[in-house]
Amino acid sequence: MLKRAFNKGFTLVELSISSLVIALVVLVLIMVFRSNLATFAWGQKHMEFNQKIQLVMKQIFTDLKQINPILKQDEDGHIYLQGEKIGDLFPNLVTIYDKDKDSANGGEEVVFFLTSISDINRRDRIRYFLEKGELIREVQDYNGTTRRKAIAEQAAGLQFAPDTGDIRQILVSLTMTDPKSPGRIETLDFAVRLETDLVCVKTVKTYD
């Protein structure tokens, strides 16, 4: 009997049902694939923006952490730390420029020097500021050569401020907008503690 049923083959109804089941399975697989693809694309897009945020924070953090006392040499060839002698009021000065006439939110620009222990004459002047919606890192080396690089686009609200609770700490705030998702805006708020006491943080009001 089984052999006769087998030889009889599939009916048209059975073939139709089988085709429908296969079509439904394929449709579900396509929908799952598209969903996973969209999720991957969304995650990839947001991951790129998160990486940009981390790179900006790392750049500012690393620069401020590298601030050291300035080495100087007197006429006798003796090397000393600037600030050790009477009259050296600012061993290494971190200057915060307040340009919006609002002292409550800190300053919109910061300038400081990075020095080299191996070459006491080397002093690179580092400056962070906003220009046309971009966060600019400007470096002027000891030869006077100036280089500028935009490390973040669609940036706003850049603020630097000394920490009233810790004179060695600088507070940093910045807002960044994802170029690929204009509705996504992230605010960076972090603090960097300087590694040495021989550094002075000063806020200067300027209205130019």
**Average pLDDT rounded to a whole number, residues 84-100:** 74
**Average pLDDT rounded to a whole number, residues 170-195:** 92
Percent of the chain's residues with pLDDT above 70 = 76
Among 107, 109, 90, residue whose Cα is nearest residue 98: 107
| Token representation of residue 204 | 């200067």
User: Do 82 and 88 touch, CB atoms closer than 8 A?
Assistant: yes
Res 76 pLDDT > 90: no
* CA of residue 121 relative to chain centroid, distance: 30
Strands 93-98 and 109-115: antiparallel
Of residues 139 and 21, more confidence is placed in 139
pLDDT of res. 33: 66
